[in-house]
Every structure is written in structure tokens, then in C-alpha cells.
Chain A
Amino acid sequence: MRVLEYVLRRGIFSLVTIFLAITGNFFLFRVLPGDAVSNLAKVPHSTPELQHALMVRFGLDKSKWDQYLIYLKNLLHGDLGVSFTYQESVSHLLLDDLENTVVLAGVGTLGAIFIGILSGVMSAWRRSSPLDHLNTGVATLVYSFPAQWLGLVLLILFAGVLPAGGMSDQFLFDSPPFWQHAADVGGHLVLPAATMILTAYGGYTLVVRSSVLETLGEDYVLTARAKGIPARRVVWRHAVRNALLPIVTMVALDLGYVVGGAVLVEVIFSWPGLGMATFTAIGQRDYPMIQGAFLILTVSVILLNFVADLVCFRLDRRVSA
């Protein structure tokens, strides 16, 4: 029954965190001094009529407590308000963006993990060799550069060779055959995904390396070797498999940073995701959009963390709540 207890505890923690994020979101935008919504004059080119309409739309004539309850009720119905700029439902606008962010962050993270594991295992396998020193040195260095800098450098290097902005070619015909569309999106994905991979892979390399080094010293590895199992197989089957837990832990830990990195990368490559939407909305002081995007990002990170916790638990029952 410990499994159920663990799942419940993490689940409740995630729910509480989501609730706190929602509440913080409300307070940040409506109650704190200098908050966004009561400063409606900040809306560019606003007229008194628009201001009044917005006051009514946001229910600013009501008490804070009523506003909070209405806000929660709307959220339950998936209503994140109406964008100032587009005059459309924020949740509709942001759902497509979420999908695009998932594509980019997914490819970026998986790529980083893949390369991180390969280079980390290689380093651990040939520890203290020139190859190891070079590999860890490069990983540490790349890891030290800011994400946006890596993106800009890739842009300089590959501008003209690979598509540098957007998610697809706007001059492509309206409904191209599937494979043509996929190839187009794939091409546009190369640079942003490469940036995300570069941003994150160094961290994974270092963790995998030290984690594998540790398992290589374990008795069961010695036993496996003594049994005459080929070295390559010992490393992958025995050492790496058992070194996986810290890697899963690190993925879980990294989720917030993945989202942050995705924001910067999306802005550089005009990738139409949530980060780009937030960035645009900030420029336009489109507060309902900022608030909605923030909420979606936060809730996804919390849910992903929950899933990662469960995976960790599945991998190693010793993990405690």
C-alpha cells in the first residue's frame, strides 16, 4: 500500500501547488499595488469606453473576494479571459501554442538526454583519458553559456543554410501533402531544437558520467565481468541501467529550466509557442494573455514533475516522499 500512499501524497502536493500558483496569479495581476488589471490606462490606445468595458469585463466593481471566486469559477470552465490584442478567448489562442512548445521542448529535451547519456557513458568508460577531459571540458563550457547566446551563435553560423524563424514556410501551399509539411516543420525545428539540446546536454553528460563511474565500482559489475560477459555489455546492461535514477531525477529537476530555456529559444527563432506568446503579450501589455500563458506553463511543469516523481518511484522503491 506504500505505492498508493506515495502517489496520493505527491498528487496532493501537486494539486496544492497548482492551487497556490493560481492564487498567486490572481493576486499578482489584481491585488498587489501597481497590479495589471486596475492599471487599465496601460492598455495602448485605450478609450474611456474601452476602459469601462474592461472594468466590467474584469468585474472590478465587485469586491476582491468576489473577483477571486469568479476567477476560480471561470478557470474551472477553462475560461482564461479575453485577449486585449486579439479580442479572442485566451485559452483558444494558447492551446495551439502549447502544442508547438511541447514539440520543441520534447525534441530538445529528448535529444539532450540522448546525447548526454552517450557522451557521459563514453567519458566514464574512458575516464581520465584525453577524450574524457575534452568531453567533460566541452560539456562544462557549453553548459556555462546562456541559452539565448547559444541560439544567437547558431543563427549566425547557419543563417541562410537552415530556416531561421517560424515553424513552417509561409509560402508553402495551403494544405501540402503530409510528408512535405512534416519535412518543412522538421527543417524549421533544427536550429531551435539544437539550441535547446546544447543548453541542456552538458548537465546530463556530467551527471551520467559521475553516476556511471559510481556504478562501475559496484560489486555486481565486478561479478558480471568475472562471469566473462563482454565489457560493452557490462557497461550498458549493468552499469548504465543502474545509473539511470539520477538521470530521471535530473530530468524532473530540469523541467522548470526546460520551460525557461524554451522561452528564450522561442523568442530567438520566432517559434510560435507559449514562450513567444508570453513575450509578445508582454510587449503589448496584454495582461490576460500573460496571465493565461503563465498559468498553462506552470500547471504543465507541476504535472510533469508529478509524473517524473512517479517514474522515479517506479525505478527505485527506496525513494521516499
Chain B
Amino acid sequence: MSVRIGDTGAGGRAGIFRKVLRDHKSAAVGLALIALFVLVSILAPYLSPHSAVESSCAVFEPPSARHWLGCDDGGVDMVSLLMHGGQTSLVVAFTATLVSMAIGGTVAIVAGYFGGWPDTVLMRVTDVLLVLPDLVLAMVIAAVWGPSLFHVILVIGLLQWTSTARIVRAEVMSLRERAYVKRARGLGASNGRVIVRHILPHVGPLLIANTVLTVSAAIYLETALAFLGLQDPSVTTWGTILEHAFARTAISSGAWWAIVPDGFVIAAVSIGCFLLGRAIEDALNPRLKVSHLSGRRWRLRALVAKGANAR
């Protein structure tokens, strides 16, 4: 434990995130957006002006001073509903993201570090999952398992790790060849030790940069599943709010307030993730020679970032 070779230490890692926030205004905006929504949803029980379950006004009452965004088909205040829905939506998104981070990170490290047949097998599985349509796959699995919050989280987590795995694996492969890793192995460090002490700390930021984007992907998938009636009917999320509005005549009643704000909330969180993720990505500046199979948002973001630099 006395010899530390090539260990850049924790300061370097935390430094990246400090640097991101200092150099990229957009990162601060993104983080602020996400923090705002997390805070509001945590404090929803105290902040929400009315009950999110019981009716406090007339059916589809239009927005007023008392109910800023009007009421839904059951006379429930929309503002309160959005706050409480955000609670569940964000929990689903963050938990699913953790699941996908764990799977993606493990796959990336095993495939990238060990190479050989584990790499081949894992990458072929990743390729296959990348080609198959996410939502349809999620629909079918959720339909067979039955609608529940837990299943939705699991399905999203199981489907969203592929692009993370590909990008992080490339980084692991380059780390494996670095001199300090080779030296550590030469000094007799076990594979496990090398991974935990030298690989993991260095791919951490990249893993997190990816994961920031998984949050918004998870929110989209959750709203889509909810919209198709594959979410637990007893919970309220941003997805089920849209589903309710659609199924319960908000459109024929012209109750736009039961639909429109929900989309803006989802878009705001997604843009927050986009800004933050892109900034971390910019700061890390990994050689993003990504296969054309690796995740739409990643590819898009890389190109958009390039475009921004070209200006």
C-alpha cells in the first residue's frame, strides 16, 4: 500500500467537474435546471399549493389565480400534479440511470480490460441491442411482466446501457495500454486492484457524462411506456399525466392546460441534461470516434459540439 504508481489522486477527478462548471456557462445552466427540478420534486409535499390526489376545483377548470395551470379531469390542481409527478418521474429516471450505469460500466470494463472472447461476446450483444428498437422492446417486456413502477425502472435500465458501454470501453482499452497501468501490473497488482485503483477512477467522469444523458433518455422512455398504459396506474408521473389527459377527453374538452405544461417540464429537464452532459464531454474531450451504431444522442451531441466549436 506504500507504493503508489501513476495515481493521479482524487483531486484530479473532482477537478474536472470544477473545471466544467467554471469554463462552461451552459454546464451551470444545465446543472441549475436539473437541481431546480430535483429540489421542487423533493419539496413537493410542502410546496404544492393543493392536493395532488383530491379535487380542489371544477373538472377541467381553466387556469386562474388560484390554480395557475388549471385542473385535470378529476378537478385536481395541475401544478400540484406536476410537482408530485416529477417526484416519481425523477426517481424512475435516476434509478434506471444507476442500473444502466452499473451494467454499462461493468460491460465496458470487462470487455475493454480483458479483451479476447469476453470482449467479442459483450460487444456483439451490445451491437444487437443497439439495433433493436428501444421502445418496442420495452413495450413488449413491460407488457409481459405487467405494469409496475419497478418493472419500468428495470426495463429502462436494461436497455439504456449500450452506448455508455461502447464509449467507456474505448477509454478502458486506451487506459489499459498506459505506462502506469502496465507498471502497476508489473509490480504485481492484481487485475481487481488495477481496475479499482487505476481504471475506474479514470473512466468515472466519462461514465458520468454519459449517464447525465441517460437521465433524459429514461424520462422519454418512461413517458412513452406510461402513455401506452404500461405504467402502474396508481402512480403519478409526467408520463401518466399525458396518458390521463389523452385517455380522459382533455382534447375534446379543449383543456390544453392538462397537456401543454407537462411537455415543457420534460423538455426543460432534458435540455438541462443535454447542456450539462455536453459540457462535461467537452471538458473531457475524448476522441469521439464513435461507431455509427452507438446511440443517437451521443452522435448528435458530438456533432453539435463540433459545430459549436466551428463557429
Contacts and interface: CB of A to CB of B under 8 A. Distances in A.
Contact of A35 (B144, B230, B262): B144
Interface stretch (B12-20, B48-56, B78-86, B128-136): B128-136
A146 interface: yes
B136 A210 contact: no
Contacts of B229: 279, 282-283
A297 B229 CA distance: 20
Interface stretch (A55-63, A81-89, A220-228, A255-263): A255-263
Contacts of A239: none
Contacts of A264: 135, 224, 227-228
Given A203-B300, A257-B296, A152 B242 contact: yes
Nearest to B292: A249
Contacts of A127: 310-311
Interface residues of B, number: 53
Looking at A146, A153, A213, A214, the one whose CB has the most chain B CB atoms below 10 A away is A146
Contact of A144 (B135, B271, B304): B271
B266 A282 contact: no
Interface string A254-290: 1111011001100110000000001100110001001
A148 B227 contact: yes
Nearest to A209: B307
Contact of B133 (A150, A256, A268, A287): A256
Nearest to B222: A146
A93 B14 CA distance: 57
B143 A297 contact: no
Which DSSP category, helix, strand, loop or mixed, fits chain A's interface?
helix
A150 B263 CA distance: 8
A246 interface: yes
Interface string B298-311: 01100110111011
B136 A297 contact: yes
Interface stretch (A13-21, A44-52, A172-180, A182-190): A13-21
Given A256-B132, A259-B133, A267 B228 contact: yes
Interface of B: 124, 127-128, 131-137, 139-141, 143-146, 220, 223-224, 227-230, 242, 245-246, 251-252, 254, 256, 259-260, 262-263, 266-267, 270-271, 274, 292-293, 295-296, 299-300, 303-304, 306-308, 310-311
